[in-house]
Chains A and B, each alone.
Chain A
Amino acid sequence: MKPAGFDLACPDTVAEALEVLTEHGGDARILAGGQSLAAMLNMRLATPKVLVDISGLGELSSIAEARGMIEVGAAVTQDQLLRWPGLPAQPLLAQVLPWVGHYQTRQRGTVCGSLAHGDPSSELPLALALLGGEVVLASRRGRRTVTAAAFQTGMMQTAMAEDEMIVAARFPVAGKGAASAFAEVGPRRGDFAIVAIAAVADDSGVTLGIGGVADTPAVRHLQWLNDEGLADALNAIAWDLRAGSDVHASAQYRRTLVRNLGAKVIREARDALSQG
């Protein structure tokens, strides 16, 4: 369990990092916290020729709220965001972050790294998709902003070009009169989610984000319905996501969790809403 050989680039600026990416393209991979990538390297599941370490870049280390968005730089760890004083502006992030890996992995794992990795069971891509956030990509060719929906294109696949890197992610702050809830089930607390569900509710209805079932986080909006209607709607979603089976859980178990956890988070979000 030793990685194949690679060169390690430690740029001092984003511009230098982009130089390396331009030169090596698909043979290069950004290293931020390494909590997913290092394991893949050690098992030789991924064998990039060049790693570009951006973890020390000051220009990627800030968290700021501007124009209704929380902008998180690409070197910001999950733990730093969790402890950021402005986090209550988006309660869903505060609900989701404690479920991202473990205390130890959150010290190194980055918010944008989770997005770039695009694991289907991962909490942060789910939050970004549900909140309608966006990702800021940079390359020598310039910068562009991609919506969450357009960013993650498949399991561990994104719309990032080979010469691009994430410089920041933007999570919208909570709307007035909105409430959120989150629930997750894995084999143990801190494991990859078998199913993770988040809900954001307001007067018009509730939007669900569902992870761990389809290849990318699924986002579904529901009008407020009576309990029976809600159960039917959740059942339709559960089947529509075409859950698969793996060593941890059957497709049926995943569908059951979509129904059960879906009802739970909707109830919790609605209760939070009514409490104002």
Chain B
Amino acid sequence: MSVVGQSLERVEDLSLLRGDGRFADDLAEPPGCVHAAFLRAPVAHAVIESIDTSRASALAGVAAVITGQDIQAETRPFLSGVKVDAPQFALAVDRVRYVGEPVAIVVAEDRYKAEDALDLIEVRYRTLPVVVDPEEAAGVAAPILHEGAGGNVLHERLFRYGEPEAAFSNAAHVVETTVRYPRNSCTPIETFAVLAEHRPGEGAFEVTANFQGPYTLHTVMARALNVPGNRLRLKTPPDSGGSFGVKQAVFPYVVALSVAAKLSGRPVKWVEDRLEHLAGATSATNRVTTIRAALDGDGRITALDYDQLEDCGAYLRAPEPATIYRMHGNMTGAYAVPNLAIRNRVVVTNKTPTGLMRGFGGPQVYFALERVVDLAAGKLGLDPMEVRRRNLVPGSAMPFTTTPGAILDSGDYPATMARAEREGGLEELKRRRDAARAEGRLYGIGCAAVVEPSISNMGYITTLLTPQQRERAGAKNGALATATVSFDPSGAAVVNVSSVPQGQGHRTVLAQVVADELGIDPKDVAAATDHDTLKDPWSIASGNYSSRFAGAVAGAAALAARRIAGRLKAIAAPDLNVPVEDVELSGGFARSTLNPDNAIPLARVAAKAHWSPLSIPEEAGAGLRETAFWAGPELREPDPADRVNSSGAYGFIFDYCGVEVDPLDGSVRIDKYVTAHDAGRLLNPALADGQIRGGFAHGLGAALLEELSYAPDGSFQAGTFADYCAPYATDMPELVILHDQSPSPFTPTGAKGLGEGNCMSTPVCIANAVADAIGKPVETLPLTRPRILELLGEEEPADPSPPRPSLETPSGEGHALVGNGSATAPAAPEEVWATLLDLDHLAALVPGCHSLDLVGENHYRMDATLGAGPVKGRFTADVALSDLDPPRALRLSGSASGPLGTATGSGEIRLTGVEGGTRVDYAYSVLISGKVAAVGGRLLDGAARGVIGIVFKRLAGAAKPEIAPGLRARLPRWLGGRP
């Protein structure tokens, strides 16, 4: 009986549960190993005027300090998919373009000392205008990130399939929406880890990193390091704490730390911390999509028109701009749509570069497509499920080539949908909705139908080139997967793949697949998944991405095992005294199919091959080891009409859910969630369900909670898991999971990928349900509680006693910390004025001021320790006074910087003589960036208010001034000075 298709327990778990996992950080450190820490940009866009590393280098225990200049001398810029003059290195060179961009590396005896030294590096930044919004970045007035590129739109292409213009002009109905998919990330629990060594004798680098592929990037890294591929030995550890695409983005650090190892002459280890990860690792692309759908009178979609604006962050980092092309063959979704127009634009902004992420391009496309289908249903007065039913690709059409070229391989989408409705209990769900609505509750049902691609065609990215450019460049195609199976003298098998698993259970499934082919127990198969580019087979398509394991990698393992099986049969046939065609392998024996009692243990067959290679038939060959490559024969390069079969297999998902929105606080409760999949043959149903639950958790986070937020000044605001809100286990509803199994005719196992699908279907399914519940369109995610109340749009009761400040609070830029206040000082306006302009007096007013110097006319430099409670940081501030109107008014403006971050701001002070003294009115606006903004956003407003409040309290004599050492105290008596 086949073990493929059974829910075997994971062979990985015993070690993991016992704490015996071998993760990147667990591997032994070589003697002399030093530890790295990165200095990162606190501002989103600036010229690096100078970097002074002398104090850091002088600190005891520091082995080396490396800056962008070193990196520029030692490496070449990274290759990217688009040829534009926008060079990028592993450290910022001359200019920073996003908060968190690496600026320098310190390597020291331990991480603590390395971080101590970071605080001693002095970088002078000259800030530049910032753009974080993709639409703004694409506009003519935007600050340019890469002058050589001539603008921020680094790629644009138009695509046209069929006759979209005619379809729109003949349409009975046209619906349109513009949606904005946010920046989010899958945030694996294990962050990046790299151990880099340089072998000067061999001119080679040897690196262990928790890299996940694709191994196209090995070429990118080796080229950056100026070495042939065989001089960059890249090893990956046996276990992983998750990746979801994210660990593709460790590659710039492999290069940076290889250089650090070379320049310091020491092995260098680095483990990324959570703040670094959230701020600087990578993210999904945020995308603005305007989508139009043309429909006939019956609700059939006759054409789609996409205008996609993709935000890849500050650099197009390889393999970008792949996100926008991964779905290219699937832009018609699960529907048969004959006409299609697409405009793709890729823009750079002052945010972290994007990269691989579970769902990769799918959530962005389906958020647009499945929203517009719901809008079409509303316009036609049809049930949203009915519109989908009328447009799904029918089962009889399989395999079906979509308008942009994907070959949908198998499935009966309408049947899967019907089964989901029936077995998921749709009618009951509708009754629950009706009952809830009858009580006045906000209850909605939403659905989504998606095609889930897997096994990326290595040529899909070339769709971004024109057919002429592709012709010149030469074809890229296929999706080469490799596996090696060997059979040892004891009759046990070893399988080795270049799939670099990230926790999915590949070893378990490989054992199942190989066991079936060899007719042995899965326990007699050992799977090795740690990888070494110098020793193990691999190719550029290797790695763990695009859900390629079940279809491609497990398929290659089956092919390799099948060859071993053939050879075992050939060896056994003479001993069984039957023709080789009559030999089968089962239960650990080679046996005659005609007489199963005529059998030999496989151990004996194997032993013969190993011990008596001269005694076996010549056609059985020597050495029981086979490496198989599987290329994906249907994965041709894009054709001259830009049609591309962008993936090797395509699953189908139909999801629906019932949600209730609480108008009290805007929270969403998922009452029921049904997800029906057809991912071909299931190799291990329990692992499949685990993948679906995991994908759902990411989709749930994307729908309701997760966003890597940036303020308009480019400051990053989600540097902890208290600010980047991924769902907790307790936020997960129990899912109803259904499976159909229509084997793929194209993959060796009949399996397709299924781990990414719910990242594509779930965000829009929940969005559609919320839209149904609240009766308003949903155009962006995540649907946080405040955003839902905003959408509900209930009018707020007015302030019964609005404040009447004499100075208006500055409006800021909508995100600046703004405030105002008043204090009354027991002195005449002239005296207060004199105090404000006197160095010593002013210094005494500022809490934590260490020194205050006049550096020009009305221009001060201050060194102060500022903060709230125990949170304190030392800042150097430059403050200028302007618009002086003695003794009535003045303006302040300036900036401050320190290890905790940077601040820029301005304020206004007005003095008015009143009975008994002077009323001092003040108003301010402050922007804060860097570490403190990333991890303490929630507290900044109060902290700014606190510090500024103390200054004016002291001015009013209500609080004691602080007389710092080195400052003379010749304060006026009303400020607490000596008479």
B938 touches A253 (CB 8 A): no
Once A155-B943, A188-B731, A247-B717 are accepted as A-B contacts, the answer to whether A261 and B868 lie under 8 Å apart by CB is no
B800 touches A236 (CB 8 A): yes
Mark the stretch among A1-9, A52-60, A73-81, A137-145 that contacts chain B.
Answer: A1-9
Chain B contacts for A239, CB-based, 8 A: 799-802
B789 touches A256 (CB 8 A): yes
Top 7 A-B residue pairs of the complex, sorted by shortest distance between their CB atoms? A156-B869, A1-B273, A155-B942, A253-B786, A244-B941, A239-B799, A46-B870
Q: Give A12-69 interface residues, CB cut-off 8 Å to B.
A: 29, 37, 39-40, 43-48
- Nearest B residue (CB) for A157: B869
Is A250 in the interface zone, CB < 8 Å from B? yes
Is B692 in the interface zone, CB < 8 Å from A? no
B785 touches A46 (CB 8 A): no
| C-alpha gap A47/B899 in the complex (Å) | 12
Report A112 CB to chain B, min CB distance, Å: 15
Mask of B932-974 contacts with A, CB within 8 angstroms, 1/0:
1001111111110110000000000000000000000000000
Chain A contacts for B276, CB-based, 8 A: 1
Q: Give B857-888 interface residues, CB cut-off 8 Å to A.
A: 867-873
Is A85 in the interface zone, CB < 8 Å from B? no
B664 touches A44 (CB 8 A): no
Chain B contacts for A154, CB-based, 8 A: 868-869, 942, 946
Report A139 CB to chain B, min CB distance, Å: 18
Chain B contacts for A121, CB-based, 8 A: 938
| C-alpha gap A188/B667 in the complex (Å) | 10
Q: Of B785, B815, B932, B942, which one neighbours A187 at CB under 8 angstroms?
A: B785
B709 touches A256 (CB 8 A): no
Is B396 in the interface zone, CB < 8 Å from A? no
| C-alpha gap A46/B941 in the complex (Å) | 18
Chain B contacts for A223, CB-based, 8 A: none
Report 10 cross-chain contacts, Cβ distance below 8 Å, ordered by A residue: A1-B275, A2-B111, A45-B900, A121-B938, A154-B869, A156-B870, A157-B946, A191-B722, A246-B937, A250-B786
Chain A contacts for B945, CB-based, 8 A: 215
Is A192 in the interface zone, CB < 8 Å from B? yes
| C-alpha gap A231/B790 in the complex (Å) | 20
Size category of the binding interface on chain A: 35 or more
Chain A contacts for B867, CB-based, 8 A: 45
Q: Give A241-276 interface residues, CB cut-off 8 Å to B.
A: 244-250, 252-253, 255-257, 259-261, 264
Report A3 CB to chain B, min CB distance, Å: 8
Interface SS of chain B: helix, strand, loop or mixed? mixed
A215 touches B116 (CB 8 A): no
Is B839 in the interface zone, CB < 8 Å from A? no
Report A122 CB to chain B, min CB distance, Å: 12
Report A178 CB to chain B, min CB distance, Å: 25
- Nearest A residue (CB) for B114: A2
- Nearest A residue (CB) for B794: A256
| C-alpha gap A136/B871 in the complex (Å) | 24
- Nearest A residue (CB) for B871: A45
| C-alpha gap A94/B590 in the complex (Å) | 69
Is B665 in the interface zone, CB < 8 Å from A? yes
Chain A contacts for B722, CB-based, 8 A: 191-192
Is A147 in the interface zone, CB < 8 Å from B? no
Q: Of B666, B720, B801, B872, which one neighbours A46 at CB under 8 angstroms?
A: B872
| C-alpha gap A150/B937 in the complex (Å) | 27
Is B643 in the interface zone, CB < 8 Å from A? no
| C-alpha gap A260/B112 in the complex (Å) | 47
Further contacts, 20 of them, CB under 8 A, given A37-B870, A117-B869, A119-B939: A4-B116, A40-B870, A43-B935, A44-B899, A120-B942, A121-B938, A155-B942, A157-B946, A187-B705, A192-B722, A192-B938, A235-B800, A239-B799, A239-B800, A244-B817, A247-B938, A248-B723, A252-B796, A253-B666, A264-B664
B115 touches A2 (CB 8 A): yes
Q: Give B715-733 interface residues, CB cut-off 8 Å to A.
A: 717-718, 720, 722-723, 725, 727-728, 730-731
Once A45-B932, A156-B869 are accepted as A-B contacts, the answer to whether A215 and B785 lie under 8 Å apart by CB is no
Mask of A143-174 contacts with B, CB within 8 angstroms, 1/0:
00000000000111110000000000000000
A253 touches B789 (CB 8 A): yes
Mask of B691-716 contacts with A, CB within 8 angstroms, 1/0:
00000000000000100010000000
Chain B contacts for A203, CB-based, 8 A: none
Is B326 in the interface zone, CB < 8 Å from A? no
Is B274 in the interface zone, CB < 8 Å from A? yes
Report A249 CB to chain B, min CB distance, Å: 5
Is B835 in the interface zone, CB < 8 Å from A? no
Is A91 in the interface zone, CB < 8 Å from B? no
Q: Of A29, A47, A156, A256, which one neighbours B796 at CB under 8 angstroms?
A: A256
Chain A contacts for B799, CB-based, 8 A: 239
Chain A contacts for B932, CB-based, 8 A: 45
A47 touches B797 (CB 8 A): no
| C-alpha gap A155/B872 in the complex (Å) | 13
Is B358 in the interface zone, CB < 8 Å from A? no
Once A2-B115, A43-B275, A43-B935 are accepted as A-B contacts, the answer to whether A244 and B942 lie under 8 Å apart by CB is yes
Q: Of A119, A247, A261, which one neighbours B665 at CB under 8 angstroms?
A: A261
Chain A contacts for B274, CB-based, 8 A: 1
Chain B contacts for A221, CB-based, 8 A: none
B935 touches A185 (CB 8 A): no
Is B784 in the interface zone, CB < 8 Å from A? yes
Is A11 in the interface zone, CB < 8 Å from B? no
Once A44-B899, A247-B709 are accepted as A-B contacts, the answer to whether A189 and B938 lie under 8 Å apart by CB is no
Report B496 CB to chain A, min CB distance, Å: 36
Mask of B242-278 contacts with A, CB within 8 angstroms, 1/0:
0000000000000000000000000000000111100
A247 touches B723 (CB 8 A): yes
Interface centre among A190, A231, A246 (most CB of B within 10 A): A246
Report B925 CB to chain A, min CB distance, Å: 13
Is A118 in the interface zone, CB < 8 Å from B? yes
A46 touches B871 (CB 8 A): yes
Is B388 in the interface zone, CB < 8 Å from A? no
Chain A contacts for B900, CB-based, 8 A: 44-45
Chain B contacts for A191, CB-based, 8 A: 722, 725
Q: Give B95-128 interface residues, CB cut-off 8 Å to A.
A: 111-112, 115-116, 119
Is B45 in the interface zone, CB < 8 Å from A? no
